[in-house]
Amino acid sequence: MKDHSSLLITVSGRDRPGVSARLLSTLSVFPVTLADLEQVVIGGRLVLAALLVVDESVAPGVSHERVFEEVRNAVEKTSIDLDMDVEFSYGNERVGAASAEQLHVTILADPLRPGALGAIASCVARAGANIDRIERLASYPVTSIELDISGADQERLRGDLAMEAATQSIDVALQPSGLHRRAKHLIVMDVDSTLIQGEVIELLAAHAGCAEEVARVTEEAMRGDLDFEESLRRRVALLKGLDASALDAVRDELVLTPGARTLIRTLKRLGYECAIVSGGFTQITDALVERLDIDYSAANTLEVIDGKLTGGLVGPVVDRKGKALALERFAAEAGVPLNQTVAIGDGANDLDMLRTAGLGVAFNAKPVVRQQADTSVSVPYLDTIVFLLGVSREEVEAADRNA
Residue 196's nearest CA partner among 302, 265, 109, 280 is: 280
Strands 186-189 and 341-345: parallel
H or E element at residue 273: strand 273-281
CB crowding 110-144: b at 16 or more within 10 Å, else e = bebeeebbebbeebbeebebeebebeebbeebbbb
Q: Is 350 a catalytic residue?
A: no
What is the phi-psi region of residue 89: left when phi exceeds 0, alpha when psi lies from -120 to 50, beta otherwise?
beta
What 3-state DSSP class applies to 173? strand
190 belongs to the catalytic site? yes
Give CA–CA dist 366/383, Å, rounded: 20
3-state SS, residue 363: strand
Residue tagged active-site, from 160, 192, 346, 350: 192
Closest CA to 164 of 130, 104, 110, 124: 124
Catalytic annotation, pick one of 160, 190, 319, 346: 190
End-to-end CA distance of the chain: 58
Residue positions annotated with a catalytic role: 190, 192
